Every structure is written in structure tokens, then in C-alpha cells.
Amino acid sequence: MKSVILYDVTSGVADMPAGAQVIAARCINGQTHVHVLCDPDKPTERRTFLTAQGDCTVPDTARSIGSVPTGQGAGMIHIFETTPKKSGTKKKTS
């Protein structure tokens, strides 16, 4: 059975169940969090995130999670996942 679990990604890393799908993001007391849909019984994998405010430069491979208000009108935090995608093996066709 899958669960929705909240992870603090303020540090830029979080260990979460393999295959966890980020479904939402929010700022709680100045800390950046993501909600993930996952199977909590799966082994964990390290995921990496980048948070930035205002104009910023991000790696070409970064995937946008979204932007959330910081609270009290202080601006927005942009959240990106920077975990390298696992390369799949493609079957050769003749």
C-alpha cells in the first residue's frame, strides 16, 4: 500500500523509498518540504534537491518541483530535484 509522506529537503538531500513520486511542495517555518507518494516498505535511496530564490541558475538536468511562498510575503522558493536519473538500458533493434 502506498502512503503520502512529508520530507524536509532544506538541507538539499533526503533519503526516501525508491521510486517515491513528489506530489507537492511547501514551506513550513522557513524550511522546504516535499510530499511524496511512495511505498514505505521499499528500500531507501538518496534524493538531492536545489532550492533558490529570485533569479537563479540551475543545472540543465534539474527537474522543477514547483515554487512555494516563503511565508509572510517574503517571496518565493523555487524547488528543483537534481538527483541524476538512472539510465535505462535500451533494447537494440535490428
Q: Which residue has the higher pLDDT, 85 or 38?
A: 38
Q: 55, 82 in Cβ contact below 8 A?
A: no
- Tell me whether residue 91 is in a domain: no
Q: 74 or 29: whose pLDDT is higher?
A: 29
Query: Average pLDDT of 69-76?
Result: 77
Tell me the C-alpha distance between 91 and 67, whole Å: 37
Q: Is the pLDDT of residue 83 over 90?
A: no
> Is residue 48 situated within a structural domain?
yes
Is 88 contained in some domain? Answer: no
**87 within some domain:** no
The verdict on residue 71 lying in a domain is yes
Q: Determine the average pLDDT of the residues in 54-66.
A: 88
Contacts 24+ apart (CB under 8 A), 54-62: 61/85
Q: What is the mean pLDDT of the chain?
A: 87
Over 50: is that where the pLDDT of 82 sits?
A: yes
pLDDT at 49: 95
The pTM is what? 0.81
Assigned domain for 89 exists: no
Q: Domain total for the chain?
A: 1
